Structure 1
Amino acid sequence: MMEEVQDVTSALSVHGHNIKVTDVLKDGDTLTFVIVSQKVSGTGEYHVDRTYDDVEWLQQHLFSQEDVPGLHGVIFPPVPAKPQVNVTAKGMKQLGFLGLGEWQPYCKALETFLRQVASHDLLKKNKAVEIFLTSSDPPGRQRVKKNIFNWLSQAMDEMRKEGHKDVDEFFQAQRDQNLVMTGCTKNATERFLEVVLTEQKIAVACGHFSAALHLCVEAGEDPVKQAFSRICVKLSEVLESMKKNMMSVAENNVNTLGLGLDLESRYQEAEKEMLFRRTCKLVELETARRSAEKAKPVKKAAMEEVKKAAESEFDHISRVAKQEIAQFESERVQMLQQALVGWCEQQLLTAKESADQFDRYLQAFRGMA
């Protein structure tokens, strides 16, 4: 069992940008992910097996850094939803694109999460990250400590803070923009998922039609029946080719733009949570200021100290938040650009291959005529 993690390390012993999730193993209802990290010093790799409970263990320790200044201003890399071996309709709604493709999309999303954590200037210093990526022992089931995640859950009960007017025009504009972007991105992701699911249904229908055409093939020496059978066989080949083409299109959609939209949607939610945490701290600061103004002389000095501490904490959170937003805006443009470029490239390649194949079938039909 891994020991209780409390301190932080100055640097990781692995390259954060080279982390890979190479395989997923099924054992009943449990999924185990094989994570490979390249060592910084010399050659060699770390190979560790991790379950989703282990991922939650890591996330728990990232949220538990209450002694880290400015933590409330961090946009935490969003962890994928909990995977399911037998995906139900409800589970499919939660997983979206991550529930398709025999777990390859999910492994890619988990890989992205780990790379984002291991590359984050603040989060990668947590000792839990090093242990998660390099230790051969799995994390233990530890007692849940008070952390930023629990704090956020408690704060969610005070929904009035969500509409609280911000004192900084930059953050107010960011909150307004995030509100719009969160809804638009989620809607775009859901609509694109519907497109992919429809493509998969079309592919299945083509496969059924292809198989059905073979039932029309008849043996015998009748020239008419022989000609009809040859046409059925050739049409069956065309439909089988259409099935493979549509499956390729759907797979390309999932692995490029689908994963890009999914990550964008989850990151917008992560930014929304950070902005809400900062708003809650703003409300606390304003409360501290009012308390200091109304304090009686005997408590005036103590309340002034509380106010100064709240101001210092809030200023630090705001500085960290502005840096996080700037980096997020830059990276999200790059991520979406890569997703769109990859989507276009794969679709063009598939379209060219399909066009060449259909042209050969057209020439074959002309020869039969």
Structure 2
Amino acid sequence: MMEGSSAEEALSVSASSIRITDVTQDGDVLTFAIASQKLDSSAGVCVFRIYEDFDWLQQSLFSQENLPGLQGIIFPPLPSKALTSQSNTQTKALKQLGFLALGQDWQSYCKAMEFYLQQVAAHPTLCKCTALDSFLINYESPGKQRGRKGIFNRLSQAVEEMRKESHKDVDNFFQNERNKNTNLAALSKVATEKLLDVVMTEQKLALACGHFSTSLHLCVNQDDAAAVAFSKVCLKLSDVIEAVKQNFEKVASNSLSTLGLGLDLESRYQEAEKEMLFRRTCKLIELETVKKSTEKAKGNKREAMEAFQKAVEKEFNLISSVAKQEIERFHSSRVNVLKNFLIGWCELQLNTAKEFAEFYSQHLEACRNMYSE
């Protein structure tokens, strides 16, 4: 969701050229074809990756512990692993993936994975990670190299997480941001769930219209004049219901491919910002604990504690500085991203409305002609 003008300078491929062009399923494994354009030539490159390769990349980004201020970065959120097994119910898939579980041939899921790669490649800091370049251009799968679990995974699994999340911040900027993030994360999640309910209802209505349209054909009878007349009415009504079915399908598909993906991305990014703010809060608590220990220390031990306190304070200030830049970039870009998704959604729905308004007018005219005969 965040753009960076320096991103393409650190990669051997163009960040904006990254595309998932195809996906194949073999049992429970999805294999993604990832194409991109090299910067130093007109040649393109295409590699094949499975989900474990994406997870390796994410862990590699998390594990750059020697990179100053890394804990202040809002990491592009990697979608959950797709449930491909036939034994998994749609309810379970929807709970885990939401909109990404819908659509044909994993199109929505592929688009989300594509967004993930583009956002990592467009990030001014993360794009410099050598693992990203390796992921995009090396033909051999990197997933065989076990990625180390970064510090962020350990922090997110802390038993005292709830206590740390409610810890009051010393900086009003971050305290206000935490409060806003809590509200926006909840609201974006609800908005995503509500739109998902609407889309699924439209799909169910389309299915019901299909059954109704088919059933009307069973009423066709050619035994006498009255039966023939009734059959004509049934066939014409079947055509109308079929048009209604196609309308529901198109409207649902429009929402799925635009606003649905946008809200899903927004919801996952709010969680990513929440994780960043939590990491900073953990470092704040660590600093406050060190300060208390320094105050109690005596003699030579106090000098060592003071030196350690300065190091922790320096690290905390750096994390806070990086976090502020990330938050500013995040807010400016998320508005543009959501705006683009909304515009795309409105345009598609408007075109669909115009298209089917014409169809309905044609059916109405046909009905008038039928009764005027």
Asked whether the two chains share a fold, i.e. TM above 0.5, the reply is: yes
Task: Give the number of aligned pairs.
Answer: 360
Q: CA deviation at 1:40?
A: 0.8
Moved more, 138-147 or 171-180: 138-147
The one-letter code of the counterpart of 1:313 is E
Instruction: Spell out the pairing of 1:233-252 with structure 2 (5 A cutoff).
Output: 233-252=235-254
Q: Which whole-Å CA distance do the structure 2 matches of 1:98 and 1:356 have between them?
A: 32
- Correspondence for 1:334: 336
Which whole-Å CA distance do the structure 1 matches of 2:83 and 2:158 have between them? 30
Match of 1:4 in 2: none
TM-score (norm 2): 0.94
Matched, 1:118 2:117: no
Matches of residues 1-369 of structure 1 in structure 2 within 5 Å?
A: 11-85=10-84, 86=86, 87-88=88-89, 89-102=91-104, 103-220=106-223, 222-369=224-371
Identity of aligned pairs, percent? Answer: 57
Give secondary structure in 1 for the equivalent of 2:173. helix
Aligned partner letter, 1:305: A
Cα pair 2:221 2:231 within 8 Å, conserved: yes
Contact 1:217 1:232 (8 Å CA) reproduced: yes
Contact 1:14/1:39 (8 A) holds in 2: yes
Change (3 A) 1:67 1:349: same
Helix, strand or coil for the counterpart of 1:307?
helix
After superposition, what is the alpha-carbon deviation per residue over 1:226-264, rounded to whole angstroms, capped at 9, x for unaligned? 111111111111111111111000000011111110000
The 3-state SS of whatever aligns with 1:216 is coil
| Alpha-carbon distance in 2 for matches of 1:146, 1:57 | 10
**What is the alpha-carbon distance in structure 2 between the residues aligned to residue 361 and residue 267 of structure 1?**
45
Query: What amino acid sits opposite 1:60 in the alignment?
Result: Q
- If the length of structure 1 is used for normalisation, what is the TM-score? 0.95
Alpha carbons of structure 1 residues 144 and 135: separation in structure 2 relative to 1, 3 Å:
closer
Query: 1:155·1:280 contact (CA, 8 Å) conserved in 2?
Result: no
- The code of the aligned residue for 1:366 comes to R
Question: Is the contact between residue 181 and residue 268 of structure 1 (CA under 8 Å) also seen in structure 2?
Answer: yes
Which runs of 5 or more structure 2 residues have no equivalent in the other structure?
1-7
| SS of 2:74 mapped into structure 1 | coil
User: What do residues 128-185 of structure 1 show as CA deviations (whole Å, max 9, x unaligned)?
Assistant: 1001111110114334535123332343534211111101000000000001111111
- The one-letter code matched in structure 2 to 1:65 is Q
Deviations 1:55-91 (A, max 9, x none): 0010010010000010110000001111122452212
Q: Which runs of 4+ in 1 moved over 6 A?
A: none
Cα deviation digits, residues 88-112 of structure 1 (max 9, x gap): 2212211100001121111111110
What letter matches 2:155 in structure 1?
Answer: L
Distance in 2 (CA, whole Å) between partners of 1:70 and 1:203 is 51
**Quick one: distance in 2 between partners of 1:307 and 1:281?**
12
CA–CA distance in structure 1, aligned partners of residues 312 and 136 of structure 2: 36
Partner of 2:3: none
Q: Report the CA distance between 1:296 and its aligned residue.
A: 1.1
1:223 is displaced (CA, Å) by 2.0
AA aligned to 2:175 is Q
Q: 5+ unaligned residues in a row in structure 1: which ranges?
A: 1-8
Shift of the alpha carbon at 1:338? 0.7
Cα distance in 1 between the residues matched to 2:149 and 2:361: 65
**1:285-340 residue CA offsets vs partner (Å, 9 max, x unmatched):** 11111111111112121111110000100000001000000000011101110111
RMSD (Å) for aligned C-alpha atoms: 1.4
Q: Kindly indicate whether the alpha-carbon contact (under 8 Å) linking 2:56 and 2:146 is maintained by their aligned counterparts in 1.
A: no
The answer to whether the Cα contact below 8 Å between 2:16 and 2:118 also exists between their aligned partners in 1 is yes
Evaluate the alpha carbon distance shift between residue 146 and residue 261 of structure 1 in structure 2; reply closer, same or farther with a 3 A threshold. Answer: closer
